[in-house]
Amino acid sequence: MKENKAMQKLPPYLFARIEQKIAEAKEKGIDIINLGIGDPDQPTPRHIIDRMATSIYDTSNHQYPTSVGLLEFRQAVADWYKKRFGVNLDPKSEVVSLLGSKEGIAHISSAYLDQGDVNLVPDPGYPVYGIGTLLAGGEQYIMPLKEENGFLPVLEDIPSVIAQKAKIMFINYPNNPTGAVAGLDFFEKVVEFAKSYDILVCHDAPYTEVAFDGIKPVSFLQIEGAKDVGIEFHSLSKTYNMTGWRLGWAAGNKAAIEVLGRFKSNIDSGVFQAIQYAGIEALNGPQDSIEKMQALYEERRDACARGLARLGWQVKPPQASFYFWVPVPRGFTSASFAELVLEKAGVIITPGNGYGQYGEGYFRIALTVDKSRIDEAFDRLEKALGKVEL
């Protein structure tokens, strides 16, 4: 019983390896400070939990849900897009529910790629873009995200012969892992590029509501013509501290939404309806928890920036997402530095090479622990490492 060639090429998922390292360290009695995985540590707001609690007892929710999602949920998504971004969406044809946006991002390639087809994939980037491409039998063409370009892909550098073969372009702003933010001008270029080469744009946007300094990240769908060429993935995970609930959506181009919905209807039975009703409450209910969340992460961000500066890093704090993207000290690879930090300080950081070849030389810090633990992490690092040489 031998797995197929795609599975043979597939490495263990980055965060599965990190979870294993955490478990091994805990078995040794080490107090671990986990700055690795981007999983919010705050609870889901109470009014959302209360809606879930009442929905569980409604026996109509105990049956199979619709595969594309309750129309009431898709309407709530459309209403939220109108209020937040000024974007009009038809909930019946331009929104599909997902078992978390990760599921849809992984499956969109299987819905569009034939063997050997090409996807344009950002590097460093969320590993699932490349994994979904690989599992669908496609090939990825790397779009480097470099600091000198604001961690935006340079579309002009993509050879026309590659662009003509490409089926999908993945983009992600606010960006994981770099924290970079894109403006409407960049998305306008993406729409023009996609129209020129008949490419489906898949914008991954789960961090639009995690922003600081008065920044209001924009939606790809705000651009005129965006719905002609693309869809946007979003979820409740980061906005409402609902990572474990597994509820998200894709919105935009009608044809792509229909294809993704048709694909999903053949492989899953949709999201538990009680969770969808909780999602409706999240989108339609009080939004004050978002401001509180942003203030909390901004306090942690500033503490992290102070800690990095104390040790010799002069890193520009992110304006969005809850990640720092930090160069490793001289003489280390991203993996060897992460291993040293774990061994000497009991602190988990994510090595940049887990996000692709252009992630080498960096590591990621997630602001998903209490400020006191962030301060303690840098106290430990200062004691173990002293000043760093960059």
On whether both 129 and 260 belong to a single domain, the answer is yes
Given a contact cutoff of 8 angstroms between Cβ atoms, the answer to whether 211 and 319 are in contact is yes
> DSSP state, 326?
E
Does residue 313 lie within any of the structural domains?
yes
- What was the pLDDT predicted at 27? 82
- What was the pLDDT predicted at 20? 77
On whether both 194 and 89 belong to a single domain, the answer is yes
On whether both 160 and 14 belong to a single domain, the answer is no
Does residue 195 lie within any of the structural domains?
yes
On whether both 198 and 303 belong to a single domain, the answer is no
Number of domains in the chain: 2
On whether both 206 and 263 belong to a single domain, the answer is yes
- What was the pLDDT predicted at 77? 98
Does residue 169 lie within any of the structural domains?
yes
- The pair of three-digit structure tokens given for residue 288, joined into one six-digit string: 């004050």
The domain boundary residue, chosen from 284, 319, 350: 284
Does residue 390 lie within any of the structural domains?
no
- Burial zone of 76 (CB within 10 Å; 0-12 exposed, 13-18 middle, 19+ buried): buried
Three-class secondary structure of residue 294 per DSSP: helix
What is the rounded CA–CA span in Å between residue 110 and residue 245? 24
- What was the pLDDT predicted at 14? 65
Given a contact cutoff of 8 angstroms between Cβ atoms, the answer to whether 98 and 104 are in contact is yes
- The pair of three-digit structure tokens given for residue 39, joined into one six-digit string: 């999983």
Does residue 239 lie within any of the structural domains?
yes
- What was the pLDDT predicted at 179? 97
Does residue 21 lie within any of the structural domains?
yes
- What was the pLDDT predicted at 15? 63
**Residue 351 structural domain:** 5-44+288-385
On whether both 144 and 276 belong to a single domain, the answer is yes
The domain boundary residue, chosen from 236, 262, 284: 284
- Residue in 107, 134, 96 with CA at minimum distance from that of residue 118: 134
Does residue 246 lie within any of the structural domains?
yes
pTM of the shown model: 0.95
Q: What is the CATH number of the domain that holds 9?
A: 3.90.1150.10
Name the amino acid, one letter, at 242. Answer: M
On whether both 380 and 267 belong to a single domain, the answer is no
On whether both 72 and 82 belong to a single domain, the answer is yes
Q: What is the CATH number of the domain that holds 124?
A: 3.40.640.10
All residue ranges of the chain with pLDDT < 50 are: none
Block residue for tokens 């980037």: 125
On whether both 81 and 146 belong to a single domain, the answer is yes
What is the rounded CA–CA span in Å between residue 343 and residue 32? 10
On whether both 156 and 244 belong to a single domain, the answer is yes
- The pair of three-digit structure tokens given for residue 205, joined into one six-digit string: 């946007």
On whether both 175 and 235 belong to a single domain, the answer is yes
pLDDT per position as a tens digit, 245-294: 999 999 999 999 999 999 999 999 999 999 999 999 999 999 999 999 99
On whether both 14 and 32 belong to a single domain, the answer is yes
pLDDT per position as a tens digit, 58-84: 999 999 998 899 999 999 999 999 999
Angle (CA) 309-207-16 rounded to 5° is: 80
Does residue 166 lie within any of the structural domains?
yes
The domain boundary residue, chosen from 267, 284, 301: 284
